Chain A
């Protein structure tokens, strides 16, 4: 007799627990959906600051950058993604000086290891988080980081 009442009460308790489970999923049905609809939400999209995607060389309003063409980033790059091409000019005092001619970085072979940014003695390059880097031609992946006509920022005295 006891087992029979257990059988009957078991039916009702299990029914109740099933309904409780359905209640949980019913609430879930109406929750706000977490899907991000990417191309439409470009304006509101939040990309973490730590996201590394494209190497850039910040230029100020005078079109001046901080790269001294020392080549440390090139030497530290594990897979030869960076090429620093320097030129030498003569200053007014008649001294020879090495300046940056082209800072070339290949988007296609970069592993975003951040070693170039860490080791740069003058903090001339950083990674930004502009992640939409897809292009149709591999050659377009090779970026020249210093803008044309830019020059080295004078050290503050």
Chain B
């Protein structure tokens, strides 16, 4: 069962840990490791945001039969770096008659919630900053903190468009948070654990989406829908419906304050895709077939973080695909979709999952020779 994994990073990280702990008192070693992890997470956050912005512009262009950015660098690779530099040196315009403290605090709520959720994602074998035993609940909890920033931004901007946008966003977010949580709980019922690392480990031979077949697929679809709604992206982008509300809750923001909302929006898209990957599509676990050791060895040669990024990229692409396929929903239709369709389906679905688990109809229970761990 021990496959060669030449490109994994956990050996390197272990050596770093041993080096630090061998040369420093435990407190300082922990502090330095914590700081290094913080820097790594923030750097990954920024880099992934840049890549996502580039990818979104390119994919968008392709859906619209255009080429997209292709002037700055080869194929426009440096475009989003140029955009980043531009937004960093832009002036932050100070607005009169805003609630000063809340106005300046609001972007940090959004970005902090997003970074905190980002930190808990297992990016690969041994590449997880914190591994709570209630990982899923933690991710749901901190990612829903972001809505406070949105509501504060709308309230403190002293602008009717911001206010309406924030209120819409609040209604939408709180509604869809229910569906997202229930969809993840469906899988928790099946795996019997909330720890993200264990959920990944359980999917060694059968991804949860296959293991739980019908209810898992339904939960996956519902999670993707409500995930899109939570990130305020099209077709659920009516908090910032530009035709009606100029830019919604971030109308009054400029410069890097706006940049924080922008970053958080893209990273939330990534986080939703990453959680969906981890919970439904096997996380960083390579595709493996029980008994076929040669095949498994080849799959393990591809490092786990590449598997993770690849699966996440597919889901991000689906999110962009949906964005450029469907028109924006009206607010009443949006709430109809959640309260009259997704939530009842979800409740029935979780019941079906409980029955399937109790009856032993999951794939690992039905075919333990093929899929059992």
Contact = CB atoms under 8 A, between A and B. Distances in A.
A81 B61 CA distance: 42
Given A11-B341, A29-B62, A24 B67 contact: no
A21 B66 CA distance: 19
Contacts of A60: none
A25 B235 CA distance: 14
Given A11-B341, A25-B321, A37-B70, A18 B326 contact: yes
B65 A22 contact: no
A32 B65 contact: yes
Interface string A32-49: 111101000000000000
Nearest to B327: A21
A32 B345 CA distance: 40
B326 A33 contact: no
Contacts of A24: 325
A4 to B, nearest CB: 11
A21 B62 contact: no
Interface residues of B, number: 15
Contacts of A37: 67, 70
Contacts of B326: 18, 21
Contacts of B345: 11
Interface string A12-32: 000000100110111011011
A16 to B, nearest CB: 13
B65 A31 contact: yes
Contacts of A31: 65
B322 interface: yes
Identify the interface centre among B64, B321, B325: most chain A CB within 10 Å of its CB: B325
B63 interface: yes
Interface string B60-76: 01111111001000000
Contacts of A34: 65-66
A22 to B, nearest CB: 5
A9 to B, nearest CB: 13
Contact of A22 (B64, B321, B341): B321
B363 to A, nearest CB: 24
B66 A28 contact: no
B63 A33 contact: no
Nearest to B64: A28
A13 B105 CA distance: 45
B41 to A, nearest CB: 33
A29 B70 CA distance: 17
Contacts of B19: none
B65 A26 contact: no
B3 interface: no
B324 interface: yes
A47 B70 CA distance: 23
A29 B64 CA distance: 7
Contact of B321 (A11, A26, A33): A26
Contacts of A22: 321-322, 325
B67 A33 contact: yes
A72 B61 CA distance: 51
Nearest to B66: A35
B70 A33 contact: no
Nearest to B344: A7
B66 A33 contact: yes
A33 B65 contact: yes
Given A11-B341, A18-B326, A25 B63 contact: yes
A10 to B, nearest CB: 9
Contacts of A33: 61-62, 65-67
A28 B67 CA distance: 13
Contacts of A35: 61, 65-67
Contacts of A11: 341, 345
A35 B70 CA distance: 11
B325 A21 contact: yes
A32 B66 CA distance: 9
A28 B322 contact: no
The 6 closest A-B pairs by CB, nearest first: A35-B67, A25-B325, A22-B325, A21-B325, A35-B66, A34-B65
Interface of A: 11, 18, 21-22, 24-26, 28-29, 31-35, 37
Given A31-B65, A32-B65, 6 more contacts: A25-B63, A25-B321, A29-B63, A33-B61, A34-B66, A35-B66
